[in-house]
Amino acid sequence: MSDALAGLDEQQREAASALRGPVCVLAGAGSGKTRVITHRIAHGVDTGAYSPGRVMAVTFTAKAAGEMRGRLRALGVGGVAARTFHAAALAQLNYFWPQLAGDTAPTILSSKVRVLAQAADAIGVNPDPAVLRDVATRIEWRKITMRSIEQYALDRPEGVGSLSLDAIVALQQAYERLKDERRQLDFEDVLLACAGMLEAEPRVAAEVREQYRHFTVDEFQDVSPVQYRLLELWLGDRHDLCVVGDASQTIYSFAGADPRYLLDFASRFPDARVLRLERNYRSEANVVAAANELMRGRPGALELAAHRRTPDHPRPVLREYDDDAAEADGVAASIADQLAAGADPREIAVLYRANAQSAPLLAALARRGIAASVLGGPRYFDIPEVRQAVMALRGAAVAPTSGDLVADVRAVLRSLGLSEEPPAAGGPLRDAWEARAALLRLAEEAPAGTSMRAFTDDLQTRAKDQHEVATRTVTLSTLHAAKGLEWPHVHLVGLAEGLLPIAYATTFEQVDEERRLTYVGITRAERTLSLSWARGVGRYERQVSRFVKEIGTNTLDAARARARSPRRSPHAASPRGPAPSRAR
């Protein structure tokens, strides 16, 4: 057996051994799909079925692509093109454009809204920035679904704010003219231009198909029409394609994602092998049971089997609160109890539907001295304090050091302001302290004998691959941003009608997407899962989410008492929980 197949379970090994396409792997949450993808490629290279330079592994985020490259390196495989759709398309445009046009490729637009504002001036309209952002979103959807401006207008969408449909059409036309005059492409144009190039230039298509013979696409449920068209052009008349996805985790339909490409794969490729990964290695059995109940009977849903079965492990708990402030305070109190019991802040996440829900949660946590960070902020290595610290560490690496990596890193970070005691939670000073302290923990976790030069080289690799470093804080995140991540302890808040499902989800398809979003939230939890909702106040009183009712009482434990709002009970805001951590 190839070394790349060692350690895989029976389902994973079958998928990793299927080296010739078409192959469709239906991979449930926590089933090890990235492991299967990378081990499949490594197995293909080990057996001589693949040449690394002829493999393209496509995913949807630069972070996921970086993780894939890192895992392949750990398996001894280099030279595989692990990229996003956009990165692969842009690389091909930059390579072939000078040959075809005798000039450099157009530059990539940094902001649609800025150019839309200039286009609005050109046609004599003055919409506010929120309207321009909405129009930018419509442009993205139009291009992802491969519609022209004329086709968009025939759909008769509603106007936006003060702009009528005719004004939106005129604004989009002016936007495209400005881009053309400036030789610029926006993010979606990259895919369209690459597809157009491959369609129009048979020589280019032949060269790309000669270079890449074996394709793997992760998160295939999120493929959009333009991405699928580009994939078809890369493949040509060949079928050496492996796709991996989970229809139950389709949460980007609003952005053009179409799960039918995954669900109908066997119809499009009649000779396809369809394999399933249904063993969940992430979550306790009681969490998996709740997830299965929520998705039972939905198209393409997999019945997950839990690998983790701790005897007498508590079921997910459902808590009801009087209002949103009481819910935030109750969640903060539960987190304080978890920290006091020995949980690491990095093991805890609070997930919600909309960004606006984070403010009361941050305030409630700060009242208890619990540091929290909101996912979706600046990337770790883009934080100014981290950039400054990495530069200082690189400088120290070329000078004589003591040979004690931790002591040397601590000395550099102290010179930049890292104190023994952290500042109070809830402000920029604490955020900066946590960012620097995370670098010190990396030094503490480095293998014995690691030099300062090797440590800083590793930091550069992490930054390049967007390998984020977890600060020692509780994570707050929208459900969309949490996809692909996991935590031992998850608090899923706002499970009330109007919040989850969100109020503007009115059609069957929209509500179904909200259900899948809830499923993603539930399956982020490894050990404990807490669900909560708030009734609200007065005439705005809410009802518990229909998704809670669908999960049912067989898999949930309801809390007996409601927490009172901190606005009514001054004692609820008193500090609780452990003392803040120290930078050792």
Q: What's the pLDDT score for residue 464?
A: 76
216 labelled ligand-binding? no
Out of 107-111, 369-373, 411-415, 464-468, least confident range = 464-468
Element containing residue 374 per DSSP (H, E): strand 372-374
Same domain (yes/no): 76, 203:
yes
Q: What's the pLDDT score for residue 43?
A: 94
Same domain (yes/no): 437, 349:
no
The Cα 512–Cα 164 span in angstroms is 30
* Residue 97 forms part of a structural domain: no
Assess contact for 32 and 305: CB atoms under 8 A.
no
Of the candidates 67, 551, 574, the residue with the CA atom closest to the CA atom of residue 290: 551
The winner for highest mean pLDDT among 222-226, 356-360, 371-375 is 222-226
For the cut 80, the answer to whether the pLDDT of residue 276 exceeds it is yes
32 labelled ligand-binding? yes
The Cα 97–Cα 312 span in angstroms is 62
- pLDDT tens digits, 212-247: 999 999 999 999 999 999 999 999 998 999 999 999
| 399 band by pLDDT with thresholds 50, 70 and 90 | confident
Return phi, psi of residue 186, to 5°: -90, 180
Structure tokens at 345: 């802040």
Per the prediction, the chain carries an average pLDDT of: 87
Element containing residue 317 per DSSP (H, E): strand 317-321
Q: What's the pLDDT score for residue 4?
A: 86
Q: What's the pLDDT score for residue 385?
A: 85
Assess contact for 348 and 338: CB atoms under 8 A.
yes
Burial class (CB in 10 A: 0-12, 13-18, 19+), 151: exposed
Q: What's the pLDDT score for residue 427?
A: 63
Of the candidates 328, 344, 329, the residue with the CA atom closest to the CA atom of residue 578: 344
- pLDDT tens digits, 112-147: 999 999 999 999 888 888 888 888 988 998 999 999
Domain boundary among 241, 259, 277: 277
Instruction: Say which CATH number the domain at 347 has.
Output: 3.40.50.300
For the cut 50, the answer to whether the pLDDT of residue 572 exceeds it is no
The string of DSSP letters for 547-574 reads HHHHH-TTS-EE-SSPPPPTTT-GGGGS
Same domain (yes/no): 443, 417:
yes
* Residue 345 forms part of a structural domain: yes
Assess contact for 56 and 89: CB atoms under 8 A.
no
Distances (CA, A) of 176 to 109, 116, 169, 181, 234: 12, 9, 11, 9, 27
- 465 compared with 7, residue with greater pLDDT: 7
21 labelled ligand-binding? no
Q: What's the pLDDT score for residue 579?
A: 34
Structure tokens at 474: 């509780």
Q: What's the pLDDT score for residue 571?
A: 36
Instruction: Say which CATH number the domain at 137 has.
Output: 1.10.10
Q: How many domains does the chain have?
A: 4
Same domain (yes/no): 85, 201:
yes
Q: Where are the beta strands (DSSP E) in 436-486?
A: 474-478
Same domain (yes/no): 352, 482:
yes
For the cut 70, the answer to whether the pLDDT of residue 575 exceeds it is no
Q: Classify 581 as helix, strand or coil.
A: coil
For the cut 90, the answer to whether the pLDDT of residue 449 exceeds it is no
* Residue 456 forms part of a structural domain: yes
* Residue 582 forms part of a structural domain: no
Same domain (yes/no): 209, 348:
no
Tokens 């989009």 correspond to 172
330 labelled ligand-binding? no
Domain boundary among 260, 277, 294: 277
Average pLDDT over every residue of 294-322? 90
426 labelled ligand-binding? no
Same domain (yes/no): 338, 476:
yes
* Residue 584 forms part of a structural domain: no
Q: Which domain holds residue 24?
A: 3-89+193-277
Q: What's the pLDDT score for residue 466?
A: 66
Measured in Å, how far apart are the chain's first and last C-alpha atoms?
Answer: 45
| 358 band by pLDDT with thresholds 50, 70 and 90 | confident
Average pLDDT over every residue of 517-541? 89
Q: What's the pLDDT score for residue 344?
A: 93
Out of 193-207, 224-238, 248-262, 506-520, least confident range = 248-262
Domain boundary among 464, 499, 514: 464
For the cut 50, the answer to whether the pLDDT of residue 570 exceeds it is no
| 2 band by pLDDT with thresholds 50, 70 and 90 | low
Average pLDDT over every residue of 535-549? 84
For the cut 80, the answer to whether the pLDDT of residue 564 exceeds it is no
Q: What's the pLDDT score for residue 396?
A: 87
- Residue 123 neighbours by CB distance under 10 Å: 13
Q: Where are the beta strands (DSSP E) in 17-166?
A: 23-27, 55-59, 81-84, 107-108
The Cα 512–Cα 500 span in angstroms is 11
Same domain (yes/no): 368, 490:
yes
Average pLDDT over every residue of 535-548? 84
Q: What's the pLDDT score for residue 574?
A: 33
For the cut 60, the answer to whether the pLDDT of residue 566 exceeds it is no
Distances (CA, A) of 343 to 17, 332, 340, 394: 39, 14, 7, 33
* Residue 100 forms part of a structural domain: no
- pLDDT tens digits, 137-189: 889 989 999 999 998 888 777 777 778 888 889 999 999 999 999 999 999 99
* Residue 102 forms part of a structural domain: no
| 1 band by pLDDT with thresholds 50, 70 and 90 | low
Q: Classify 282 as helix, strand or coil.
A: strand
| 425 band by pLDDT with thresholds 50, 70 and 90 | low
Q: What's the pLDDT score for residue 580?
A: 33
- pLDDT tens digits, 190-218: 999 999 999 999 999 999 999 999 999 99
27 labelled ligand-binding? yes
Q: What's the pLDDT score for residue 235?
A: 94
122 labelled ligand-binding? no
| 400 band by pLDDT with thresholds 50, 70 and 90 | confident
Angle at alpha carbon of residue 94, lines to 380 and 113, rounded to 5°: 55
Same domain (yes/no): 372, 385:
no
Assess contact for 185 and 107: CB atoms under 8 A.
yes
Q: What's the pLDDT score for residue 578?
A: 35
For the cut 60, the answer to whether the pLDDT of residue 562 exceeds it is no
Q: What's the pLDDT score for residue 582?
A: 33
The winner for highest mean pLDDT among 399-403, 440-444, 531-535 is 531-535
Assess contact for 196 and 157: CB atoms under 8 A.
no
Same domain (yes/no): 386, 354:
no
Q: What's the pLDDT score for residue 573?
A: 34
Element containing residue 211 per DSSP (H, E): helix 202-211
Same domain (yes/no): 270, 330:
no
7 labelled ligand-binding? no
Same domain (yes/no): 291, 395:
no
* Residue 546 forms part of a structural domain: yes
